[in-house]
Structure 1
Amino acid sequence: MADTVETLTARRVSIVKARDSGVLTVKHGDEMTTFRSLSEMNRIVANLDAQIATLQGTQKKRLRYAYQSGKGL
């Protein structure tokens, strides 16, 4: 079964709520997941954001910075 934007968004919301409350265990429907750390939760949220953006046809903007060194002459 393919994930939809709605199911991915619901998962993201439950993980973010748990993360913000300091809980490492999340229950979504019949599934229960225990994360090892806050950084793992952050990686999962970022992954869900990328999947949602792909399904919506949008991508995160990437910023590029150009640096010039020297006297500029």
Structure 2
Amino acid sequence: MADTVETLTARRTAIVKARDSGVLTVKHGDELTTFRSLSEMNRIIGNLNAQIAALQGNQKKRVRYAYQSGKGL
């Protein structure tokens, strides 16, 4: 089953509400999820944000800088 922006956003909203209230168990639809820690919840929220951005075409681009140090000889 392919996730849509709406389902991912609803899942993220449920986790954020639970995190803000201090609860580690979230029910979304028929699923009941118990997280181990606040850091795990934050990691999942970050992953959901990345998935939503990718589906919307707003994925962050990585920029790589190359530095060379020395006297230039």
TM-score when normalising by structure 2: 0.82
Residue 11 (structure 1) aligned with residue 11 (structure 2)? yes
Query: Which structure 2 segments of 5+ residues have no match?
Result: 65-73
Hey, which bits of structure 1, 4+ residues long, moved more than 4 A?
Answer: 61-64
Query: Which structure 1 segments of 5+ residues have no match?
Result: 65-73
Instruction: Give 1:15 shift.
Output: 0.0
**RMSD between superposed Cα atoms in Å:** 1.5
Instruction: Give 1:60 shift.
Output: 3.5
For these two proteins, the number of residue pairs brought into alignment is 64
Partner of 2:60: 60
Once the two structures are overlaid, the 10-residue window that deviates more, 28-37 or 55-64, is: 55-64
Output the CA distance in 2 between the equivalents of 1:63 and 1:12: 27
What SS is found at the alignment partner of 1:48?
A: helix
TM-score when normalising by structure 1: 0.82
Instruction: Give 1:57 shift.
Output: 0.3
Amino acid at match of 1:3: D
Output the CA distance in 1 between the equivalents of 2:32 and 2:15: 11
